[in-house]
Amino acid sequence: MEIIRQNLIAVFLFLLPATALMAQQEKRDIHKGNELYKQKKYTEAEASYRKSVAKNGQSVAGNLNLGDALYKQKKYADAAEQFGKIAGTATDKQVRAQAYHNLGNALLESKKIQESIDAYQKALMENPKDDETRYNLAYAQQLLKKQQQQDKDKKKQDKDKKNNQDKDKKDNQDKNDKNKDQQNGDKDKQDGKDNQDKDKNGDNQDKQQQNGKQQQQPGSLSREDAERMLDALNNDEKQTQDKLKNKKLKGAKVQITKDW
């Protein structure tokens, strides 16, 4: 990524009347801050610039340099607030242009691309000939376009991912339904087969029982054979009754009556 070009903030030195003590102290604080800034001691420079601003809140040099010291420390939110305040109160067009330019830089570093574009455009309105601001504006617009495309691609990816998930879910549901239907079909088929086997077994058992009954039925007898069999049964029954009768009498006691 190409580094954006920064408008180096000029360090303002004011020659104030010797009789203005406050102005002299402000000048000393700014001068000290400038020396520290050149040594890249931005934290110490910030402290000196704050002292100058405390003495004169309208100091253009003190406020601009304070904002730049904050920017160098990557305190972009504080720097943006400082530059925005200057841009909103300065009466000089060049000061406003410089403040808006630096405000755009701080916002861009904070990933607030659209806000930085707005700031660069305001800077160009104050100073249309500032090529560095025009370059930074084009750079920010390119970043915004890239970000919008990435957001668009991400939305598309999320949508495609959701569609794929929905499709997979539907396919799985269809597969489960198909398996369930197949299982039910197999069960019905098996039940039907079992019923057929059961009916078949029942038929076989009935047939076997019928055959058994048929096998158990005696063959047809002639009338003479039937009469002989009946006579034999009657004789056997008579003999059996006689045996039982004899057995009963055999054990009977006869009471003898004695005459006195």
For residue 84, being part of any structural domain is answered with yes
Q: Is the pLDDT score of 10 beyond 70?
A: no
DSSP the chain: -PPPP--PPP-------TT-HHHHHHHHHHHHHHHHHHTT-HHHHHHHHHHHHHH-TT-HHHHHHHHHHHHHTT-HHHHHHHHHHHHHH---HHHHHHHHHHHHHHHHHTT-HHHHHHHHHHHHHH-TT-HHHHHHHHHHHHHHHHHHHHHHHHHHHHHHHHHHHHHHHHHHHHHHHHHHHHHHHHHHHHHHHHHHHHHHHHHHHHHHHHHHHHHHSPPP--HHHHHHHHHHHHHHHHHHHHHHHHHHHHTPPPPPPPP-
Tell me whether residue 153 is in a domain: no
Residue 176 maps to a domain: no
Gyration radius of the chain's alpha carbons = 60
Task: Identify whether 27 is part of a domain.
Answer: yes
Residue 184 in any domain: the answer is no
Q: Give the pLDDT mean for 168-173.
A: 84
pLDDT in tens, 193-218: 666 666 666 666 655 555 554 444 44
In a domain, 197, yes or no: no
pLDDT in tens, 209-259: 555 544 444 445 577 776 777 777 667 656 656 654 554 433 333 333 333
How confident is the model over 87-94, as a mean pLDDT? 93
| pLDDT value of position 237 | 59
Instruction: Quote the pLDDT of residue 260.
Output: 28
pLDDT at residue 13 is higher than 70: no
Token pair in block for residue 137: 């504006």
C-alpha 105/C-alpha 87 separation (Å) is: 14
Per-residue model confidence (pLDDT) at position 84 = 96
pTM, two decimal places: 0.57
Q: Is 119 part of a structural domain of the chain?
A: yes
Count the domains in the chain.
1
Average pLDDT over all residues of the chain: 79
Q: Which domain holds residue 135?
A: 21-148
258, part of any domain: no
CATH of the domain at 123: 1.25.40.10
